[in-house]
Amino acid sequence: MGLTSFLRVNGVDFPCPAVGFNYIISTTVDSGRNANNQIVGQKIGRDLYKLNSLEWNALDADVWQMMLAAVEPFFVPVTFEDYRTGEPITVTMYPGDRTAEPLFVDPVTHKVTKYRNCKFNLIDCGWD
């Protein structure tokens, strides 16, 4: 199965982010030290993903609003390429802080028509 876009969030295809995006894979370990001061522990659960530094340099207001609406339920399914396998993976994630800067405003309606530096992260819930 191929992807229909770089990133699909809650059924919405997102545009490819700007250069600087990165994947983070975290392995959670239940660990401590024994009486010999040696690390002891084991992996718990599956590896967790973070889609870090998602940023779009400039987006039309309607596109940015569509993207924000896609993460509004807070816990959302996200499909992206698992870079370890090159295959799509879908996990439940939640968004970090969402930020953007108004770039253009309609002089008549005073509504923002384009945003720049649109940013957020998507963080794995670990449920799937």
In a domain, 58, yes or no: yes
- Give the mean model confidence (pLDDT) for residues 90-112: 96
In a domain, 37, yes or no: no
- Determine the pLDDT at residue 32: 84
In a domain, 1, yes or no: no
Q: Residue 107 in contact with residue 37, Cβ under 8 Å? A: no
In a domain, 34, yes or no: no
In a domain, 36, yes or no: no
| Cβ neighbour number for residue 95 with a 10 Å cutoff | 21
Torsion of CA 9, 13, 19, 20, to 10 degrees: 0
> Distances from the Cα of 108 to the Cαs of 57, 105, 112, in angstroms?
25, 9, 11
- Answer whether 0.75 is exceeded by the pTM: yes
In a domain, 49, yes or no: yes
- Determine the pLDDT at residue 99: 97
pLDDT in tens, 14-57: 999 999 999 999 999 888 888 999 888 888 989 999 999 999 99
Which residue(s) pair with 48 in the sheet?
A: 26
In a domain, 85, yes or no: yes
Residue 109: domain span: 7-29+42-124
Distance CA 9, CA 20 (A): 19
The structural domain count of the chain equals 1
In a domain, 107, yes or no: yes
